[in-house]
Amino acid sequence: MREEIRAARTLAGDANVEQALAQVPPEMATELRDVLAVSWCSLTSLRAFHEAMAAILKEDPTVWHLRVVEHATREMFSTTWRFVLRLTSPDALVRRASTMYARIFDTGKMAASIIAPGHSLARLTGWPEPPAFHLDGVATGIVTVLRVAKIESVQARWQRTPDGADFEIRTTPR
């Protein structure tokens, strides 16, 4: 979550971020300002922040949020990880989705499986009725990691399940 605030500052400027933080309830602003790399902030606070930012920028909240997720994900993998990702198969990267998910969210669990070369399924459980706002962000994060790994032909689509969502991921096998 800290990476998303940092990405928002890069994409929209400190003044706009501070204006958005001033528009959310004070306890949410404090939570968002104080978030650390090893701590969590509530998804409600994060969504309120993104909605305030989108209003300031006169953008659709989902479009803004996905732009921030893509930027933050690219930045997280901009160091030596980028090189390592490029040496890893798309299927191996998808299998790591559960580990990446657990580092970002404290709600639900994700497990990924390979259906066939270039076709994977990441299943989110333990979060009945997750907001589309966050499911879109997870799908964008998956696609971005694969694109950082130089897998250009990638699609991720989600569908709700009674206990969460399924993310169908398709890539062109290497």
Q: Are residues 59 and 96 in the same domain?
A: no
Q: Are residues 67 and 146 in the same domain?
A: no
Q: Identify whether the C-beta of residue 46 lies closer than 8 Å to the C-beta of residue 4.
A: yes
Domain boundary pick from 75, 103, 118? 75
Number of domains within the chain: 2
Q: Are residues 44 and 7 in the same domain?
A: yes
Domain boundary pick from 75, 91, 118? 75
Prediction pTM value? 0.83
pLDDT at 146: 86
Q: Are residues 140 and 158 in the same domain?
A: yes
Q: Are residues 69 and 130 in the same domain?
A: no
Which among 151, 156, 126, 129 has a CA at the least distance from the CA of 141?
156
Residues spanned by the domain of 95: 80-171
Ranges of the chain with pLDDT below 50: none
The pLDDT tens digits of the residues spanning 88-101 come to 776 677 777 777 78
pLDDT at 97: 75
Domain boundary pick from 31, 48, 75? 75
Q: Are residues 67 and 84 in the same domain?
A: no
Q: Are residues 139 and 124 in the same domain?
A: yes
pLDDT at 171: 87
Q: Are residues 25 and 103 in the same domain?
A: no
Residue 66 tokens, joined: 């996905």
Q: Are residues 148 and 161 in the same domain?
A: yes
3-state helix, strand, coil in the chain (%, to 5): 55, 20, 25
Q: Are residues 103 and 64 in the same domain?
A: no
The domain that holds 133 is classified in CATH as 3.30.70
Q: Are residues 70 and 117 in the same domain?
A: no
Q: Are residues 113 and 130 in the same domain?
A: yes
Q: Identify whether the C-beta of residue 56 lies closer than 8 Å to the C-beta of residue 19.
A: yes
pLDDT at 156: 94
